[in-house]
Amino acid sequence: MNNISLERVRDDAYAIPLDRLDVSEASRFQNDTIWPYFERLRKEDPVHYCNDSLFGPYWSVTKYRDIMAVDTNHKVFSSEVSNITIIDRTEEERNPMFIAMDPPKHDEQRKTVSPIVAPGNLAKLEGLIRSRVSAILDGLPRNETFNWVDKVSIELTTQMLATLFDFPFEDRRLLTYWSDVATTIPQAGQEIDSWEKRASILSECLAYFTRLWNERISAEPRSDLISMMAHSPATRNMAPREFLGNLILLIVGGNDTTRNSISGGVWFMNQNPDQMRKVRGNPALVPSAVSEIIRYQTPLSHMRRNALVDTNLGNKEIKAGDKVIMWYISGNRDDEVIENADSFIIDRKNPRQHISFGFGIHRCVGNRLAEMQIRILWEEMLSRRFDINVVGEPERVSSNFVHGYSALPVRIAA
Amino acid sequence: MPTVKFLEFDGSEHKIEVSVGTSVMRAAVDNGVPGIDGDCDGQCACATCHVFVDSAWLPQTGERTPTEEELLGFASATEPNSRLACQIKMTNALDGLVVRMPAGQH
């Protein structure tokens, strides 16, 4: 966006009466104009009540430390009593999944799948990821404009996800499709225009995975996610909806997030050529650059909790039952904790200190795998001396939850 | 100043002077000791400063806090002597403390 329109957006963000300020409008995420609205909330009303939105009344928590306080206090801020994103869904409409559970059930189910991303297993995956990254990069077109999101970001993360599930490799784009459908809020005129249609597509996902489950439950335990769930006491008796819920969690968690950080990294480096030069000159900065990319992108804009009891946060009285949105995307721009938070600086002092993975018991279980994939991708791009030119504005998705891209047009010089 | 000996997973040693009151995590991160990340900056919210306390030092380092206990439940390869280094504050009595790092923080 050019400077004039950014100024206009800023004027608008500061002109709205505070009690009318609603940061949930998806269009502002899609056109990348959300930033001054969050900036104003952080300055003027860090714990902000909006009583009238498309999603009903909700609290916005926008500063790093307040978000940390909510995220680490599951006894007061529950993940289980309602949805974990801003949109309300009834209990019948929600598929149970462990990210949307409180202890003790959350703990048992999370522990069933977490070994797949434990340090020992990650070390085993590194070589596989490097060979896949190499094949993808070496197969990219030269001197021709193509969509980085599709050819690299989606391809790499979907291959990884297929491996974690031991999912038939030739069908792997179904995982991408189900992930996109699962995070879509139905809208008239769009492909997914009703909740019924969304449910019907996700029931195909359940049917597909149920076939895999049935094969694996009668076989010896193996190290893929389906076999792990089929053989664990904590998950082997899940009802179909709970199986689907956990599948959606693992598919979205392992797919959308890393995908959008991969795309975002290319966009940010292109917008900040000085940072690109820095990492080219010193590839040892790649791990730090990876953390900075994940902070700057914040691939999931928010997570939601519901207060179980009356409580106080930032001198505001939050009532039992209130909906509380932790805007990670805003916390990551809080310059009280992160110096020059609006700038993309790949060698900043504490690059790992960002809130994109959340904190506390629901902290992203796959965060190390995500970092490893992005690190290997950048290592391999640097070793090939790729000159990637972004040749147009990215297209962003219309969502206040998934903060990502549908297209990033690029061209690689021959 | 009291010192702490950090042993990386591969056995590499780092002897670091730590001022009284500073956490063992902070000492490692500020001195660039590899193997301890401290992503949450010592808020006991991420379990990326998991260490194994040398058994001789267990009584002096005290008990896990309830939150620490909960988070260690999600770390991999924990042992009875697992602690989060951000929850161990340096004292003169801990001079010579030895901690070992796991294969990776997770």
Identify the helix (H) or strand (E) that includes residue B98: strand B97-100
Tokens of A358: 């959340």
pLDDT score for A3: 57
List, in sequence order, every residue forming a beta bridge with A318; answer none if it has no partner: A311
Could A359 and B45 be called an inter-chain contact, meaning their C-beta atoms sit closer than 8 Å?
yes
Q: Report how far residue A180's alpha carbon sits from residue A183's, in angstroms, rounded to the nearest whole number.
A: 5
Could B74 and A353 be called an inter-chain contact, meaning their C-beta atoms sit closer than 8 Å?
no
A139 in Cβ contact with A262 (< 8 Å): no
Q: What is the ipTM of this complex?
A: 0.93
Could B41 and A360 be called an inter-chain contact, meaning their C-beta atoms sit closer than 8 Å?
no
How many domains, in total, are found in chain A?
Answer: 1
In this complex, is the C-beta atom of A104 within 8 Å of any C-beta atom belonging to chain B?
no
- Domains in chain B: ranges and CATH: 3-100 (3.10.20.30)
Per residue in B15-71, pLDDT (tens digit) is: 999 999 999 999 999 999 999 999 999 999 999 999 999 999 999 999 999 999 999
Chain A residues with beta carbon closer than 8 angstroms to that of B38:
352
Q: What is the dihedral of CA A327, A329, A331, A333, to 10 degrees?
A: -150
Q: Span A188-212, mean pLDDT?
A: 95
List, in sequence order, every residue forming a beta bridge with A59; answer none if it has no partner: A49, A324
Average pLDDT score over chain A? 95
Residue A216 sits in which domain range?
3-412
pLDDT score for B27: 97
Per residue in A250-284, pLDDT (tens digit) is: 999 988 899 999 999 999 999 999 999 999 999 99
Q: Span A317-325, mean pLDDT?
A: 98
pLDDT score for B106: 81
A316-349 as b/e, with b when 16 or more CB fall inside 10 Å?
bebeeebbbbbbbbbbbbbeebbeebeebbbebe
Per residue in B55-65, pLDDT (tens digit) is: 999 999 999 99
pLDDT score for B5: 97
Residue with the larger pLDDT of the pair A346 and A120? A346
SS3 B16: strand
pLDDT score for A4: 63
In this complex, is the C-beta atom of B41 within 8 Å of any C-beta atom belonging to chain A?
yes
Does pLDDT of A2 surpass 80? no
Q: How far is B93 from chain A (nearest CA, A)?
A: 30
Which CATH number characterizes residue A296's domain?
A: 1.10.630.10
Q: What are phi and psi of A49, to 5 degrees?
A: -100, 130
Q: How far is B89 from chain A (nearest CA, A)?
A: 21
Closest CB from B37, B38, B74 relative to A361: B74
Per residue in A64-85, pLDDT (tens digit) is: 999 999 999 999 999 999 999 9
Q: Report how far residue A78's alpha carbon sits from residue A59's, in angstroms, rounded to the nearest whole number.
A: 14
pLDDT score for A101: 95
Could A361 and B103 be called an inter-chain contact, meaning their C-beta atoms sit closer than 8 Å?
no
Closest CB from A110, A120, A352 relative to B74: A110
Return the percentage of chain A with pLDDT > 70, whole number.
99
Could A363 and B46 be called an inter-chain contact, meaning their C-beta atoms sit closer than 8 Å?
yes
Could B70 and A359 be called an inter-chain contact, meaning their C-beta atoms sit closer than 8 Å?
no
Q: Report how far residue A400's alpha carbon sits from residue A322's, in angstroms, rounded to the nearest whole number.
A: 19
